[in-house]
Amino acid sequence: MSTIASPSPIGQSFRKIFTREQVEQTARRTGFLQRQSKLDVYLFALTLAVAAVSAQRWSYSQIAAVVHALGGPLVSAQAIEQRLDNGLAVDLLSDLGSQLAKQMAQTTLSIGVQPDCFQAFPAIWATDSTILPLAPILAPTWPGSGGSASPASLKGHFTIDVWSGSTWSYRLTQGTEADSLGPVLQDAPQGTLHLIDQGYSKSRVALSQIDRAQQYFLTPLWLPSPLYLDKDRRLDLQELIRQSEATGRVDQWVWLGPPGQPGSFRVRLVGFVLPPQIVEQRRRRVYKQARKNQRVPQPQTLLLKSWMFFLTNAPLAMLSFEAVCCLYRLRWQVELLFKRFKSLLGLRTMSVYKKEPSVTCQVVAALLAAMMLDEVQEAAYHAWTPGTQREPSLYRMTALLLRLGPLLMWALVCEVQPQRAGSILERIGQILHKLGRMEKRKRRSSRQALFDLQLPTVVCA
């Protein structure tokens, strides 16, 4: 295989993930490597990341064999088990993940061509959480969220960059912990726009925290939210809809909470009439729920289902009406991230692990692998030219990288044949560039719609 003269962005991204020196320094800092060790920590960390996302669970013997096949010394399965069960492996992988997240944070803002509406914000993030069921025996350490859910569960809180789909930060907590934006706001640059769902927007305190941090939010309106025109007049949403029937749109400033009271502040209420097929879908759900509760749907409920409303504290000069209509659809990228984690990266099957260190190590290793994939996927978006090329598909690229995992791992660690390894990395980059793309379709993707800022034909229901 000949060396490719002009390195591609995707091929170059492989070389930026980790270096041997970086991993060894991290191992010493976290206490994983305290003296001269027989185990090659660089190969160990890389093998754990690949093993965590493999279709089948690797045994300790398999991990030891792969490390040896890559050029490391032969160690016993018991040595691997001891390393994984003492908790230091978790510290090592977590530290590497944090370094990679910071490394990606410095490069994401310069990714390729972006729509004009992105230029007003230093970053546009989406934050959400997902539950990972665990074996019931782990309930004392990882209690579940109650109800019909698993008695033991782990909750992952993730923040992603909505343009590249890459992970900016994550936290692992017990399944009982409530969602919170506090840790995210501390790390976010001033002026960041947060795309959040109603789970966060139900809390006026959470929205107020974003506003006080001089950051911005865009979220669907939770209908019971206390909206006021002034101190003595509460907003009548049904009356506002009737007044706006001629234009089919609403964009005005209101108060969230009674003016003058602590925690109240001004927000923009943005709304538009939904397409008939979406209105029909939403009303069918209302009728279904009403039959289940043996009630009759109220006329005002059916009226509200014909409109979509958002709240934001971003002024019109920064976020136009048309941008609001398109931009929120990108929040779905965080849901697609959860799909990739559970469907491709093996986090759906966490209930097979019976030891707490094994669970945590498996999750952290999978997240580390996911962020390594993010680095490559960012490069794909950097090279994407909207309008002339099909959009990169993060799901397809992840699936391809998992199939190429053993070859990629060999090329990353090969020090005997660096020229051949570099050529293989470039070839893998070419494969991802060609095959890791969405199928041709009539409906524009969310990212493509943002370039002309026209009202989408189908908006989130």
Amino acid at 133: P
pLDDT at residue 251, rounded to an integer: 95
Q: What is the model's pLDDT at position 244? A: 93
pLDDT of 13 > 60? The answer is no
* Averaged pLDDT, 402-408: 75
Residue 3, pLDDT above cutoff 70: no
Instruction: Enter the tokens of residue 350.
Output: 């966490």
> 265: pLDDT confidence band, cut at 50, 70 and 90?
very high
pLDDT at 436 over 90: no
Asked whether the beta carbons of 145 and 151 are under 8 A apart, the reply is no
Helices 356-382 and 418-435: crossing angle, nearest 10°? 80
pLDDT, position 416: 53
**266 against 232, higher pLDDT:** 266
Q: Provide the residue count of the chain.
A: 461
pLDDT at 345: 74
The answer to whether residues 384 and 112 touch, using CB atoms and an 8 Å cutoff, is yes
Query: How many Cβ atoms sit within 10 Å of the Cβ of residue 366?
Result: 23
- Over 90: is that where the pLDDT of 231 sits? no
H-type helices in 75-231, by residue range? 77-85, 88-108, 182-187, 198-201, 204-212
Q: How many of the other CB atoms lie within 10 Å of CB of 78?
A: 11
What share of the chain in percent tops pLDDT 70? 79
Q: Is the pTM of this model over 0.75?
A: yes
Mean pLDDT of 53-81: 81
Which amino acid does the sequence have at 7? P
Is residue 413 pLDDT above 70, yes or no?
Answer: no
Which pLDDT value is given to residue 214?
94
Write the DSSP string, 208-267.
HHHHHTT-EEEEE--TTS-EEEETTEE--HHHHHHHTTTTTEEEEEEEESSTTSTT-EEE
CA distance 118 to 120: 6
pLDDT tops 60 at residue 162: yes
